Structure 1
Amino acid sequence: MRTHESFKPQRLAVLVMLALSGCALGPTGDAPAVPQPSHYAVEPTPDTIGPDGARQQFVLGQRAVPQWWQAYASPELSAWVDEALKHNHSLAQAERSLAGAKEQLRGQINESLWPTIDAVGQTSRQRALGLPTMGPPTNLYNVFSGEISASYTFDLFGVERYANSALAAQVDAQSYQFDAARRTLAANVVITAVNAASLRAQVMHTERLVALADTDAEELQRRAAIGAVPADDVLAAQANAQSLRASLPGLKSQWQAMRHALAVLMGRTPDAAPGDLDIAALRLPEHVPLSVPSDLLRQRPDILAADAALKVAAAQEALATAEMFPSLSINASFGQSGFSWPKATGAAGAVWGIGASITQPIFHGGALRARRRAAQEAYLASEDNYQQTVLNAFQNVADSLVALTHDADALQAASAARGHSEQTWRNAQRRTALGAVPPSTARAGERQYLNARLGEIRATATRLADTATLFQAMGVSIDAPEGAVQEKR
């Protein structure tokens, strides 16, 4: 039940009965209804994409396994992901923060359920002024006291209960955010390793292209020396060789940066970066689980975190409403007190007190009502945030599926171009060996092949990385590696 009317004293009895019967003073916090698409993207996703030998099958309705990176069939890659999950310091920081939040929740709940009991001991020496006409002008005396006090506030309208619910939902949201951080870390390790392997292969092939361009320039220079070719051809060949050479530093810089990033993700220093994978040895995951939209709502951490935030807002609105109603507290104390230690510890020094208080807010300048209206608006904002988070999740999956579909087409075209250019190069090699064509023809064929191979390498890396992105978009929680916390102590 959601209340929208301001508190009126004549309705106190009814509200007390509602509170004691467990009726909520705010919204339930249930997630609002969201549209369920028939398929993620504008066009239905095909069941299978890619040519023979590089096919991927989307299995609709199947839940992805937590250790999805093992589908790449690379023991080194799997070991790197496990190491990152154990030793990444940002992840460890998030885990410690989550553990601290759970302890805060435990402390707040215990404090609200049980009375507080405190012991106080005090001793002092004081000088007090007396009246000039009565007694000495000043008094010097000692005070010894010891006291045990207890107090308890009855949660009549759920102030403490709603505060506990809000904090518990905040801890849940933080827990889901931690799961999202784990998923992101695993995906980043895979994507970074794939990109590093791709850049390494690109550097190697570009170095070969530079060597071929230098050979062409040297040959043309020798021919120009005897007048067989014009000098402009030599200058053009030299410019081409230098242009290719100029592209190498950038590639190498990107390659090393990827290696450094991978080392830091794994909790290492950059100089301890692992070696590179062979991109040709990485297996493209053949079966990619594809959750239906209704399952996605229950497994993506960002959606679950938005749902938890909605429950936080619901509890805070109920809390703001409950604070407008009376609160009842009792307190008691017992101790010993006196002007000397013997009197303070004797029977005559016993002191005690017991009391109860009830507080009903009457006038706070409209602050209580304003806080309640603010909490209502915050709840509505949380509903909008949840719906937008769901739509963003659907878009994330749709974009990943479309990217993979086009990646398969691009890789198929790049592989076909590489195959044709490789065959042309091999034919030129055989003809050069027979003396039918000059060596420059074979080098031209090899250059064409290398350029096509570079395109195939980039397309392969893109497809491998986008597959990891889709696995991440599915939102499956990752099991914690054994010893992940203990090894950080």
Structure 2
Amino acid sequence: MPTHESFKPALPALLAALILSGCALGPSGDAPKVPQPEHYAVEATPPSIGPDGARQQFVLGQRAVPQWWQAYGSPDLSGWVNEALRHNHSLAQAERSLAGAKEQLRGQIDESLWPKVDAVGQATRQRALGLPTMGPPTNLYNVFAGEITASYTFDLFGVERYANSALAAQVDAQSYQFDAARRTLAANVVITAINAASLRAQVAHTERLVALADADADEMQRRAATGAVAADDVLAAKANAQSLRAGLPGMKSQWQAMRHALAVLMGRTPDNAPADLDIAALRLPESVPLSVPSDLLRQRPDILAADAALKVAAAQEALATAEMFPSLSINASFGQSGFTWPKATGAAGAVWGLGASITQPIFHGGALRARRKAAQEAYLASEDNYRQTVLNAFQNVADSLVALTQDADALQAAAAARGHSEQSWRNARRRTALGAVPPSFARAGERQYLNARLGEIRATATRLADTATLFQAMGVSIDTPAEPKKDVR
């Protein structure tokens, strides 16, 4: 632990170093350099993905539009996102907290710029002990006093200035976090609506599969009565039908949970959830803007928040250094005082005072140096946090691009499987209508088609949702839409 003998000589040396460095009490707070990848993923992103009719094009260097969800071509979906941005209570809470932080910053800055002026009024009755040899043993008297006091501390080495800078950067970080919350809310509404629509379609197709399985079981039962099939075949058909039926409750539960989550995101009660979208009616965004890495650093709120946190740490390090140097304060007071009200309000009761004080820390048990060292370590930690946040952002975009590329391949394969099975089903229906094959052949073809269609629905929903994830990963700020005007006619 440093002693005051070792601390005092260090102050002039530190002061001289600061003067030579242009009075820089702390680091600049500029973001450190980070490596810029040539392309986000391990493999370069192709300019377009998907087959004709479901092709997406990546436009490198283009900035995404703020209301990107309109690219899905659904007025209902756009309305739901706008409603959520206006009425989501978690978002409103974050906005109120941000407004309060701005007011706190305004108050701290105003307090540091102007002198503090206070008015004090006092009226007391006191009992004091007297001297036994001089007068009564106790004295009773009144005191009336009123004064105005003013004080001001000169910010010689920037204590107040750096404190204001730190709080301002904290408000900036909170603002970026609020922006990130809006982007996340918009993406969550889109993804939740897509998943709900997908589950609704899956439930409908699964219910049809259960009906077909029941029809097969009934046919097996009739054939078993004539001895055409064994009893084990009947049991297998019934088990298949019940197995399909057992999967329906969980799927329906997920579907309803998605609807409830969507309602809550929009600020509604779960029972007031909107009707589901038609998954087939949603349009896949054909053009997906892809920001270059250097632009991503300037538009993703999480990176901007990390940069603001770096500036907070820089200001706090400078503040910890400034607290090691002298502070100068002046104070003044003027008022009236007396033991009776007439004397307190008269000319004889006028009192005033004027003074100045300068404080130089000499020995604080090493606390000042420790705080400065802690602030320096915190700044270095903020630099590492910024670098890691940037790398995480690059990874987020890379994962989203790879997922979309794989989604396109999966959807193409699923669509081809659905097309082949649908054609096979149609052939089976025609042969059944001609009496060439029994009805079970047509049901088998329909089952194959429904299973292929389920795979296509899941692949479609995944690609639509991953597109929303990539839009969010680009980090484009969005504005809260205004309330629609009501018709007062």
TM-score (norm 2): 0.96
1:183 aligns with 183
Query: Do 2:313 and 2:378's aligned partners in 1 also have CA atoms closer than 8 Å?
Result: yes
Deviations 1:176-201 (A, max 9, x none): 00000000000000000000000000
CA contact (8 A) 2:18 2:24 kept: no
CA shift at 1:8, angstroms? 2.8
Distance 1:9 1:388, change over 3 A: closer
- One-letter code of the match for 2:380? L
Alignment of 1:35-114 (within 5 A): 35-114=35-114
Cα pair distance change 1:15/1:151, threshold 3 Å:
farther
Match for 1:397: what amino acid?
A: V
- Map of 2:3 onto structure 1: none
1:168 pairs with 2:168 = yes
Query: After superposition, what is the alpha-carbon deviation per residue over 1:197-241, rounded to whole angstroms, capped at 9, x for unaligned?
Result: 000000000000000000000001000001011111100000000
Structure 1 segment 18-417 matched on structure 2, within 5 A? 23-417=23-417
Give how far 1:10 is off: 3.7
Q: Is the 8 A contact 1:212 1:443 kept in 2?
A: yes
1:8 partner letter: A
Q: 2:18·2:25 contact (CA, 8 Å) conserved in 1?
A: no
Q: Which runs of 5+ in 2 are unaligned?
A: 1-6, 485-489
Instruction: Select which of 4, 7, 10 maps to 1:8.
Output: 10
**Cα 1:33–1:10 shift into 2, 3 Å:** closer
In 2, Cα distance between equivalents of 1:370 and 1:473:
40
2:455 is aligned to 455
Q: Who is 1:487 aligned against?
A: none
CA contact (8 A) 1:116 1:151 kept: yes
- Structure 1: tracts of 5 or more residues without a match: 485-489
| AA matched with 1:389 | T
* Contact 1:7–1:325, Cα closer than 8 Å, also in 2: no
SS at match of 1:298: coil
Amino acid at match of 2:184: T
CA contact (8 A) 2:60 2:292 kept: yes
Deviations 1:353-382 (A, max 9, x none): 000000000000000000000000000000
Residue 425 of structure 2 is matched in structure 1 by 425
- How far residue 23 of structure 1 moved from its aligned partner, in angstroms, is 2.4
Which secondary structure state, in structure 1, belongs to the residue aligned with residue 274 of structure 2?
coil
Structure-2 change in CA distance of 1:15 and 1:149 (3 Å): farther
Q: CA deviation at 1:246?
A: 0.2
Q: Report Cα offsets for 1:29-83 as digits up to 9, x if no partner.
A: 0000000000000000000000111000000000000000000000000000000
- Equivalent-residue separation in structure 2 for 1:375 and 1:140 (angstroms): 55
Deviation at 1:329, TM superposition (A): 0.3
- Residues 432-451 of structure 1 correspond to what in structure 2 (within 5 A)? 432-451=432-451
Task: Using the TM superposition, give the Cα deviation of residue 242 of structure 1 relative to its aligned residue in structure 2, in angstroms.
Answer: 0.1
Deviations 1:255-300 (A, max 9, x none): 0000000000000000000000000000000000000000000000
Residues 337/373 of structure 1: CA separation in 2 closer, same or farther (3 Å cut): same
- Code of the aligned partner of 1:365: G
Identity rate of aligned residues, in percent? 88
C-alpha distance in structure 2 between counterparts of 1:142 and 1:380, whole Å: 60
Deviations 1:281-327 (A, max 9, x none): 00000000000000000000000000000000000000000000000
- Between the aligned partners of 2:158 and 2:90, the Cα distance in structure 1 is 37
Aligned residue pair count: 478
Distance in 1, Cα, partners of 2:346 & 2:391: 74
Q: Distance in 2 between the 1:16 and 1:288 partners?
A: 51
Rate the CA distance shift 1:191–1:9 in 2: closer, same or farther, 3 A.
closer
Mapped to 2, the partners of 1:434 and 1:7 lie a distance apart of 107
| One-letter amino acid matched to 1:356 | A
User: Measured at CA, do residues 349 and 303 of structure 1 come closer, stay the same or move farther in structure 2, by a change above 3 Å?
Assistant: same
Counterpart amino acid of 2:406?
A: H
Residue 120 of structure 1 aligns to a residue whose secondary structure is strand
- Which amino acid counterpart does residue 224 of structure 1 have in structure 2? A
Q: Is the 8 A contact 1:189 1:265 kept in 2?
A: yes
Provide the C-alpha distance between the structure 2 equivalents of 1:8 and 1:443, rounded to a whole number of angstroms. 91
Cα distance in 1 for residues equivalent to 2:105 and 2:466: 39
What's the CA shift string for 1:449-468, capped at 9, x where partnerless? 00000000000000000000
C-alpha spacing 1:293/1:121, structure 2 compared with 1 (3 Å): same
| Residues 90 and 441 of structure 1, relative CA distance in 2, 3 Å threshold | same
Q: Which amino acid aligns with 1:477?
A: S
What residue identity is the alignment partner of 2:235?
A: L
Equivalent-residue separation in structure 2 for 1:79 and 1:105 (angstroms): 35
Deviations 1:121-145 (A, max 9, x none): 0100011110100111111111000
Q: Structure 2: which amino acid aligns with 1:457?
A: I
- Judge conservation of contact 1:6–1:369 (CA < 8 Å) in 2: no
Counterpart contact for 1:16–1:157, Cα < 8 Å? no
Query: Which whole-Å CA distance do the structure 1 matches of 2:390 and 2:157 have between them?
Result: 34
Counterpart Cα distance in 1 of 2:201 and 2:11: 78
Q: Give the direction of change, closer, same or farther, for the CA distance of 1:148–1:158 in structure 2 (3 Å limit).
A: same
Q: Distance in 2 between matches of 1:11 and 1:235?
A: 93
- Quote the RMSD (CA, aligned, Å): 1.4
Amino acid at match of 1:381: A
Distance 1:369 1:120, change over 3 A: same
1:466 aligns with 2:458: no
Q: Any idea what SS the aligned residue of 1:54 has? A: coil
In structure 2, how many angstroms separate the alpha carbons of the residues matched to 1:481 and 1:76?
Answer: 15
Q: 1:219 to 1:316 in 2, by over 3 A?
A: same
1 CA distance for matches of 2:276 and 2:453? 19
